[in-house]
Structure 1
Amino acid sequence: MQIADAGRQVGAGMLDTNQSAVIERPYPRLPYAYFSVGLLMLAYVFAFVDRMALSLVVDPIRSDLGLNDTQVSALAGLAFVVCYVLFSFPFGRWVDHHARPPALTLGVSIWSVAMVACGLATNFWQLFVGRMFVGVGEAAVNPVAYSTIPDTFPPHRRGLAMAIFASGSMIGGGLGVYLGSLLLEWAARTQPVLPLVGQLAPWQILFIGLGLPGLLVALLVHFTLRDPPRRAALAAPATSRDVAAYFGEHRRLFTLMFLGFAGFAISNYAFTVWGPTYFMRVHHFSIAEVGILMGGGFAIFGSGGAIAGGLWADRVQKAGHREAPIRVALHIAWIQFPFFLGAYLCPQPMLAVALFCGGMFCASMIGGVQGAMVQVLTPNRMRGQAGAIYLTVVNVLGLGLAPIATAAMTDYVFGGPAEIGKSLAATSAVALALASLLIVLGMKQAKQRAEAVLDA
């Protein structure tokens, strides 16, 4: 990246109004552009394969380690999200200042090794530390993608590109549940003995078996992913002070938008963490049946929803609405609500499955627009750090709050494990209502900011 010797733009207002800061450079050729976003998606797939593993083995871990639902939720949420949030900032600064592929290579390597360590854990605190390092590694993925994709695709193609990347979470979630259920059944049936460590519980085999392949992804990223030229070629990378000044100037907008989008994360993480357990406890599905439901649901309805959301946002963008991702997100909140409410409260298993799949499709649309939302509101040279701030908010409130809040309502409000459906319904209802309200309050200001931001 070329940096002007004449000095650095510091003022928050100059960050998005100085037209000389942008050089028209050709974007990478479309075949390689789609290969690169496919590689980013693959990394995201493995991130969610590993992230979903815990939801399959809630009850076995509770039994083997003597835990309650609140402690399991701490493993799923708190242990992961603390490090995910803390390390998203150094990774965000890295991708704004330096080459981006090495950050992703390091991140994938860390979380893959940490998954293996989770499989070797024999008590709560060892598993807690392992989950923390999974969070450290996965903190790299979104900042790299949020910074790389705008430099790889022109504005009218970014919605679809972000949707392809985001679909990795749905595909990964589906594969994690489906392959995980197969691996659990195999481990329970064969009781394999591993070299050096001996015989392990099936849930430990699950973590090891899902973690090791990630090291191959790290090698693929290292050898094939190229760093695209930065679009804002004359602009120096944004310092932390620049980012703080920009967010301070537009603090009302970002507070409303980031908290609003966190509402989607709360609802989505509630069903991601507790959805499999809900169908096993309430509708008496087996692990294999849950694997088919969640695996097929995420892979088909989840990825389809993400792509549909991105295409929808691109269509609205072409119609002249620069704030398209935010406008589309508001409608996504409205259409997913009745599906999830019905799924969680329906006493008929097959109807609950149908409603759940419909809700999953609608909810997954947000994956195709959330990254684009950050991009339309922030200048190119600070999108890595802006993405880190966004991820901090949505993951602290989403992954940090949703699993524990849902479990706490199950344990202390609704009367015990069999009432998990009521807890999920309450979590989604409150989260989506708040998301809608906050986005409506910030829509006018979002439109003005999106039209002001440089986006070459």
Structure 2
Amino acid sequence: MAFHTDAEPAAAPAAAAQAPAVSRRYAWVVFALSFGLLLSDYMSRQVLNAVFPLLKAEWMLTDAKLGSLSGVVALAVGVLAFPMSLLADRWGRVRSLVAAAITWSVATLGCAVAADYGQMFVGRLFVGIGEAAYGSVGIAVVLSVFPIGMRATLSGAFIAGGAFGSVLGVAIGGAVGQHLGWRWAFGTMGIFGLVLAVVFALVVTEKRLHPGPRPSRAERAAAAPLRALLPKLFSSVSVVGAYVGSGLQLFIPGALIAWLPSFFNRYYGMPTARAGGTAGLYALLIGIGMVGGGMASDRISRSDPARKWLVALACSLGSLVLLTAAFRIPTGAPQLLLLGAGALLSGATAGPAAAMVANLTPDAIPATAFGTLTLANSLLGLAPGPAVTGMIADRTGLLGALQLVPLVALLASACFLVGRSRYRTDLRRLNGFAPAPHEAETPA
């Protein structure tokens, strides 16, 4: 079983044998369309946050209920990401992506006509069902058409699409909601997703991604027996550290993206459109941080791949310090500056973590490996982030809840430290090398 790794020279032949089979131009077309669908994914997910104040006033909802409408999407993604990704590795990734986009877009249109909280909750649940495998399958498709050396950069850039989609969803949703009503905000996102799904289906095909004869579904399943491959997803301490650390850290950007529109509305007195636009700028910073974290990781780890862990650790602890300080000082320019710096670092661990997962899992189940990462990101971070923050806010106020959110970075940092201590040893073992004596005893 071949594993991609930039740590071992002996792995180079396997890497060369699996070089991308498409042109660089088409690879960037695939990236652009996959990134566009990811924007639609998060626009549909986060448009809700922009209209929180409107829904709260119209339906008299508590912060806990508002948080549940946001969190149920990530919860569904987390629960279903693994099985849906496993199916996509066998059924066909392109077909899976198109089906997912159509599902979340139609569900978003359903939210636009919801008559009460219960109907909205069901609509949001189906948004999550549609989005369940998109991130993991989409990133697997993107990484399959680019060189291995670009993994952390592309992973960070692709995952950052979630933040950029959040920017558009919150900003556009807030503006449309203020002028045309919250129903039109959901409708706009649903229509955009459907159009983009059609374009993707016409341009990106399995045949163009993988020229030549394709193995049948049964042959793919036989070549990658489930019982043999699934244990590889959790075969080392370091990959588990990457899963859990990544998920815990994303609790912070998940909470920020969901609640910053309400924070600016309540504590800075901004109307819905302006609060959504301002929060969108901070979501943009989160996305820029994700891209920057991936680029920094690829550059810093060229001579020593274990340095990816140091990038993740530094960003996690930096977000803890900056956001803790931001939410404990009075409103004003200093708070906004610290909040921006903390937001920039809060999601910068995503690229390094995804690259580490790719290095430590088999080539035969890339979507399933990223599905496992999505499971951790959703169940440990993106789902509880908005929901737990809302429940705490009902008791302590929104500011009090946001003051507690950065503390999750302590747990994420501990996971990255443990993963780093075993990374070199695990890489050598997974690639069929016996660990060197000093590697078995000394942390990387």
TM-score, reference length from structure 2: 0.86
What secondary structure does 1:345 align onto? Answer: coil
Amino acid at match of 2:164: I
Match of 1:245 among 207, 231, 238: 231
Partners of 2:143 and 2:154 within 8 A in 1: no
The offset of 1:324, in angstroms, is 4.4
Distance (Å, rounded) in 1 between the aligned partners of 2:131 and 2:39: 11
- After superposition, the C-alpha distances for 1:315-348 in whole angstroms (9 at most, x for unaligned) are 1331231x44433211110222222122222213
Which residue in the other structure is 2:440 paired with? none
- After superposition, the C-alpha distances for 1:111-163 in whole angstroms (9 at most, x for unaligned) are 00000101111112111110011001111222212322332112211222222
- After superposition, the C-alpha distances for 1:399-437 in whole angstroms (9 at most, x for unaligned) are 33222221222222x2xxxx31221121212x1011111
2:189 aligned with 1:207: no
Partners of 1:345 and 1:422 within 8 A in 2: no
* CA RMSD, 1 decimal: 2.7
Distance (Å, rounded) in 2 between the aligned partners of 1:206 and 1:279: 19
2:258 aligned with 1:273: yes
Distance (Å, rounded) in 1 between the aligned partners of 2:354 and 2:415: 18
Which residue in the other structure is 1:380 paired with? 363
What secondary structure does 2:115 align onto? Answer: coil
Q: Which runs of 5 or more residues in structure 1 are unaligned? A: 1-8, 11-15, 188-201
Which segments of structure 1 move beyond 4 Å, counting only runs of 4 or more?
16-23, 233-237, 451-455
Distance (Å, rounded) in 2 between the aligned partners of 1:346 and 1:120: 41
- After superposition, the C-alpha distances for 1:205-264 in whole angstroms (9 at most, x for unaligned) are 21112211100110111011244349xx998653332233224543x4444332222221
Q: Residues 9-24 of structure 1 correspond to what in structure 2 (within 5 A)?
A: 24=17
Distance (Å, rounded) in 1 between the aligned partners of 2:360 and 2:323: 30
What secondary structure does 1:346 align onto? Answer: coil
The offset of 1:23, in angstroms, is 6.9
Partners of 1:19 and 1:454 within 8 A in 2: no
Which residue in the other structure is 1:262 paired with? 247
What secondary structure does 2:383 align onto? Answer: coil
Query: Structure 1 residues 83-92 or 330-339, which shifts more?
Result: 83-92
What secondary structure does 1:122 align onto? Answer: coil
Match of 2:351 among 361, 368, 374: 368
Instruction: Note closer, same or farther for the CA distance 1:364–1:56 as it changes in structure 2 (3 Å cut).
Output: same
Q: Residues 58-207 of structure 1 correspond to what in structure 2 (within 5 A)?
A: 58-77=52-71, 79-187=72-180, 202-207=181-186
Which residue in the other structure is 1:283 paired with? 268
Distance (Å, rounded) in 2 between the aligned partners of 1:68 and 1:292: 23
Partners of 2:246 and 2:350 within 8 A in 1: no
- After superposition, the C-alpha distances for 1:8-67 in whole angstroms (9 at most, x for unaligned) are x79xxxxx9999987714422222222211221111111111111111122322232232
Partners of 2:137 and 2:370 within 8 A in 1: no
Instruction: Note closer, same or farther for the CA distance 1:393–1:302 as it changes in structure 2 (3 Å cut).
Output: closer
Partners of 1:159 and 1:311 within 8 A in 2: yes
2:401 aligned with 1:423: yes
Q: Residues 26-45 of structure 1 correspond to what in structure 2 (within 5 A)?
A: 26-27=19-20, 28-45=22-39
Q: How many equivalent pairs are there?
A: 416
Distance (Å, rounded) in 2 between the aligned partners of 1:64 and 1:114: 21
Q: Which runs of 5 or more residues in structure 2 are unaligned? A: 3-7, 433-444
Partners of 2:66 and 2:390 within 8 A in 1: no
Distance (Å, rounded) in 2 between the aligned partners of 1:112 and 1:275: 25
Distance (Å, rounded) in 2 between the aligned partners of 1:326 and 1:161: 17
Instruction: Note closer, same or farther for the CA distance 1:19–1:302 as it changes in structure 2 (3 Å cut).
Output: closer
Distance (Å, rounded) in 2 between the aligned partners of 1:25 and 1:408: 48
Instruction: Note closer, same or farther for the CA distance 1:278–1:357 as it changes in structure 2 (3 Å cut).
Output: same
Distance (Å, rounded) in 1 between the aligned partners of 2:70 and 2:24: 38
Partners of 1:112 and 1:214 within 8 A in 2: yes
Amino acid at match of 2:255: A
Which residue in the other structure is 2:441 paired with? none
